[in-house]
Amino acid sequence: MRAAIVAATLLAIAATAYAEDERPEIQRMRFVESGDDLQLSTLPPGGIGKLFDTTAYEALSTGIPSTVVIRIQITPQDSDEPVAEQLIQRSVVYDVWDEIYTLRLDQPGGRKTIKVKYRAEALKWLTAIDDLPVARLAVLPINQVFVLKMVVELNPVSKETLAEVRRWLSQGNGGGLDRGGAFFGSFVSVFYNPKIADADRVLRIRSQPFYRPTP
């Protein structure tokens, strides 16, 4: 009985957390055929601007770099197998002496560096998705319905850094008698669980279904 209550409670927490954190936000987006490419634009009130709350916005002026990573997948509506993928990285750093923002944009078309004067401008460059080529038209058959899935992360942490931090945190028991467990057991049992997020903030966005009409 006690086990059932505990299990039910944990599963309820898990289900609530899933509902809160994993469910993608549905946004209406604009898709345009241009040349050989499909281009994407976000539409108000959507977009990825909400990635920045007040704290993150003010952090743009600290002189410490901020990075936005956007991962885009296009999949058939009834499948999780992507037909096209895109990875975009945008970084900004503030020059405290010249009082300008330098941005490094890695996205379709290659890398470019720009400088802007105001923080709001820097934010716009970090979050704008306008006419962004996201797929070759050749991979999108006419009249087949697709959806676009987007995961946007603010200041993601590399796996190597996470592994390094985790290793430091998991040390400290000093080698007692439970030596066997270290070799044969799967886990070290510790309640101490300081969480270091894999990103300052994550947005999961999904577009409305779309298709290429017959020309």
Say whether 78 sits in a helix, a strand or coil. Answer: coil
Contact predicate 198/17, CB 8 Å: no
The residues in 70-129 that bind other proteins, with binding defined as CB under 8 A, are 71, 77, 80, 86-89, 91, 93-98, 102, 104, 106-121, 123-125, 127-129
Binding flag, residue 58, other proteins (CB under 8 A): yes
**At residue 2, what are phi and psi to the nearest 5 degrees?**
-65, -40
Residues paired with 147 in a beta bridge = 75
Binding flag, residue 158, other proteins (CB under 8 A): yes
Q: What angle do CA 32, 36, 83 make, to 5 degrees?
A: 80
**At residue 49, what are phi and psi to the nearest 5 degrees?**
-60, -30
Cα–Cα nearest to 129, from 46, 41, 26: 41
Write the secondary structure of 94-129 as one string of H (helix), E (strand) and C (coil): EECCCCEEEEEEEECCEEEEEEECCHHHHHHHHHCC
Among 25, 53, 79, 141, which residue sits at the site for other proteins (rule: CB under 8 A)? 53
Q: How far is the CB of 83 from other proteins (least distance, A)?
A: 14
Among 8, 18, 79, 139, which residue sits at the site for other proteins (rule: CB under 8 A)? 18
Binding flag, residue 203, other proteins (CB under 8 A): no
Binding flag, residue 174, other proteins (CB under 8 A): yes
- Cβ atoms within 10 Å, residue 135: 23
Binding flag, residue 185, other proteins (CB under 8 A): yes
Q: How far is the CB of 45 from other proteins (least distance, A)?
A: 5
Among 8, 25, 32, 141, which residue sits at the site for other proteins (rule: CB under 8 A)? 32
Among 131, 138, 139, 141, which residue sits at the site for other proteins (rule: CB under 8 A)? 131
Binding flag, residue 47, other proteins (CB under 8 A): yes
Among 24, 46, 76, 83, which residue sits at the site for other proteins (rule: CB under 8 A)? 46
Among 8, 139, 141, 209, which residue sits at the site for other proteins (rule: CB under 8 A)? 209
Binding flag, residue 188, other proteins (CB under 8 A): yes
User: Hey, what are 96's tokens?
Assistant: 């405290």
